[in-house]
Amino acid sequence: MRPREETISVGGIGVHTWVGGHGEPLLVLHGAGGNRGWTRWLDQVSERFTVWAPTHPGFGRSDDADWMEGIDDLARFYLWFIEAAKLGRPHLLGHSIGGWTAAEMATMSAGALARLVLVAPVGIKPETAEILDVFYYSPAQLLTMTVHDPKTVPEWQELYGRPPTPQEIEIATRNREMAARLTWKPYMHNPRLAHFLPRVTNPTLIVWGREDRVVPVECGEQYRRGLPNSTLTVLEGCGHLPPIEQPDVFARLVLDFLGGDSRR
């Protein structure tokens, strides 16, 4: 089944959303780079789950939300999105700032969610290393730091193999501005989040790339210690984009995790 694009209204904000597949609902929240559309791993996961992949307010083709000031606002917004889209009690997967948003949503309303997949989430301050200042670098510079080895990325040509169009540059600039608004102070973390993670008893899979140069893998251990029903899987030869760098391995991890007695 080919995915479709919808605009879902949440509190008067139009949210551009990719929807596809069949089965239990899986809500997918993208990172600071924006919504990359219907990529290879989504195609595989949608064979067993109905994937809802919205574009955050202020990003891409979604409406603005100038009143949002932090990831906690985005988390409350997506709890509202679940109700507006009538998703029931979906599984939730988030990458980078989307993973941080997912973690905040779970601390606010764990009962509204089934299983969680957190992919290289920011949100917790590393104990020893630092989260990369992504706003210091140009998009081209940042891309080389985000993946471990472009030669191993199956969709590299499709996603990054040509210069961006003027419209794509405009969208990328808008994404960057909204990401900065949501994550700047304090930078890329919530100092209170770790105190609330023990409340989240949902089964949780944490996925990280061993060579992640954006968010150090030690943050994965911190999330694993904080979430009482979680496991951490670290992928070798992988940077900050596991779903793009190793889509087949990543899709299998997600399917195996969500497939087991998945409504508990």
In DSSP notation, 72-88 reads HHHHHHHHHHHHHTT--
pTM above 0.75, yes or no: yes
pLDDT at site 161: 92
Q: Which residues of 73-96 are buried (b: 16+ CB within 10 A; e: fewer)?
A: bbbbbbeebbeebebeebbbbbbb
Question: So what's the pLDDT on residue 42?
Answer: 98
Burial class (CB in 10 A: 0-12, 13-18, 19+), 252: middle
> Measured between alpha carbons, how far is 179 from 219 in angstroms, rounded to an integer?
20
Residue with tokens 């694993």: 224
Nearest to 201 by CA among 107, 72, 122: 107
Mean pLDDT by 10 residues, the chain (264 residues): 93 98 97 96 97 98 97 98 98 98 98 98 97 93 95 95 93 96 96 98 98 98 98 98 98 92 40
Tell me whether residue 159 is exposed, middle or buried, using C-beta atoms within 10 angstroms of its C-beta: 0 to 12, 13 to 18, 19 or more. Answer: middle
pLDDT at 256: 97
Q: Which domains does the chain have, with CATH numbers?
A: 4-259 (3.40.50.1820)
Over the Cα atoms of the chain, what is R_g? 17
Q: Do residues 211 and 148 lie in contact, with contact meaning Cβ atoms separated by under 8 Å?
A: yes
